Amino acid sequence: MSYKIAVIPGDGIGPEIISQGLKVLDKVGQMYGHTFEYNTLLAGGCAIDATGEPLPNETIQVCKKSDAVILGAVGGPKWDTLPGNMRPEQALLGLRGQLGLFANLRPAVIYKELIDACPLKPEIVGDSIDIMVVRELTGGIYFGERGRRLGIKGQEAYDTEAYSVGEVERIAKIAFEIARKRNKRVTSIDKANILESSRLWREVVTDISSNYPDVTLDHLYVDNAAMQLIRAPRQFDVIVTSNMFGDILSDEASMITGSIGMLPSASLGENSFGLYEPIHGSAPDIAGQDKANPIATVLSIAMFLRYTLNLEREAQTVENAVNRVLEEGYRTGDIMSPGKTLVGTNKMGELITEKLSKI
């Protein structure tokens, strides 16, 4: 099969890690008979420098004609003084909105070989942690009505949280479908004791759960969920929550793993279209130094194979290769520990590519 992929290397370490991810993807294609056609596009700070805007229309149009988007990272201090609507990060919001990417999948996984990097006590972590956070991505307070107005104590600012039944239904269905392929547990997180939008959220998720009798559903208030992620993270399988709550809790879950350099993400739309990116950002302080960890990008490639192309065997092939490299003791600087072998970005990509083998 042949697939068209929009590639957005972006800023900072983005081009370095993307090149390693595509190296792995090309090898998978050779092994299993797939062809990947890449269109390299601008977005973020590099797009501002080249075109004067963070998300050129050409980028949007090519992405819409592709099977998926693979993104490196955007942003950096070079563009920090620009007005909000011209910041590199606006490219991310624009891509999500223009491409209809309403579901963000953020796995938080502790690999056995890296368990010492977890900041929690061993008795809390056990052998491993494997949580999938499913975050609604195009609704809620980040996309609601906002502005400033004159209040009784002077100027005030407001942001509006709103969710429709349809928005909640579609994100809930994705969470339940993912849970069916995992441990069949969904935890829906809201603030239904205070917020009307959360009360609707809870009602709709509960209704959808009736279509998944094989999946257990429970509900937590967001403040309790934040505590439970630290106190007993192994109780969670799939978490589904709103845009703002998911933004915060997915970062908390990722830090439990010990290194954000290891964690991928997927943002999905209708018909399995997706944007795949590591969560760690552009890290401009180490850009061009062969220090960046490409594993999160490689694992994002695995998510692309699984969720957009439905190629489970190929996805597992990539994940197994990452495991083999870690088992053999190779580490980039961010996950380095005594007795292990330090390697750079390029070498890590080469090692993972070499360890790919059919399953």
Q: pLDDT tens, 89-107?
A: 999 989 988 999 999 999 9
**Inside any domain, residue 12:** yes
Specify whether 144 is located in the same domain as 252.
yes
Nearest to 101 by CA among 263, 296, 307: 307
Give yes or no: residues 235 and 277 share one domain: no
215 and 110, same structural domain?
no
CATH number of the domain encompassing residue 25: 3.40.718.10
Domain encompassing residue 2: 1-120+264-359
Structural domains of the chain, count = 2
Q: Mean pLDDT across the stretch 55-63?
A: 97
Question: Which helix (H) or strand (E) element contains residue 344?
Answer: none
Q: Is 20 within a domain? A: yes
Task: Decide if 178 is inside a domain.
Answer: yes
Q: Which comes out higher in pLDDT, residue 204 or 122?
A: 204
Provide the β-strand partners of residue 133: 106, 239
Are 293 and 233 found together in one domain?
no
3-state secondary structure of 35: strand
| DSSP calls for 113-179 | GGGGG-SS-HHHHTT--EEEEEEE-SSGGGTS-EEEEEETTEEEEEE-----HHHHHHHHHHHHHHH
Q: How far apart are CA 54 and CA 57, in angstroms?
A: 10
Is 114 within the bounds of a domain? yes
In a domain, 233, yes or no: yes
CB distance 114 to 336 below 8 Å? no
Assigned token pair, 298:
């490689």
Q: Does 201 lie in the same domain as 90?
A: no
> Which of 227, 256, 285 marks a domain boundary?
256
Both 42 and 20 in one domain: the answer is yes
Asked if residue 302 and residue 334 are part of one domain, the reply reads yes
Q: Would you place residue 272 in the very low, low, confident or very high pLDDT band (cuts 50, 70, 90)? A: confident
Share of the chain above pLDDT 70, in %: 100
User: Is 125 contained in some domain?
Assistant: no
Give the model's pLDDT for residue 122.
86
Q: Which of 198, 231, 256 is the last residue of a domain?
A: 256
pLDDT single digits (tens) 194-247: 999 999 999 999 999 999 999 999 999 999 999 999 999 999 999 999 999 999
Q: Which residue has the higher pLDDT, 43 or 271?
A: 43
What does the pLDDT average to over 76-96?
91
Where among 216, 234, 256 does a domain terminate?
256
CB 64 within 8 A of CB 97: no
List residues with catalytic annotation. 142, 191, 223, 247, 251
Position 75 confidence tier, pLDDT thresholds 50, 70, 90: very high
233 with 146, same domain: the answer is yes
236 by Cβ neighbours in 10 Å (0-12 / 13-18 / 19+) ranks as buried
Whether residue 73 is found in the same domain as residue 56:
yes
Do 115 and 137 fall into the same domain?
no
Reply yes or no on whether the pLDDT at 359 is more than 90.
no
Question: What is d(CA 307, CA 132) in angstroms, rounded to the nearest whole number?
Answer: 13
Q: Is residue 75 part of a domain?
A: yes
Classify the C-alpha dihedral 170-163-303-36 as positive or negative. positive
The reply to whether 222 and 284 lie within a common domain is: no
- Spatial neighbors of 259 by CB under 8 A, at least 6 apart, are 114, 117, 293, 334, 335
Number of residues that this document lists for the chain: 359
Helices (H), the chain: 14-32, 45-51, 57-64, 90-98, 122-125, 165-180, 196-209, 222-231, 243-256, 295-303, 312-327, 345-355
Diameter over CA atoms, the chain = 67
pLDDT at 123: 87
**Whether residue 138 is found in the same domain as residue 248:** yes
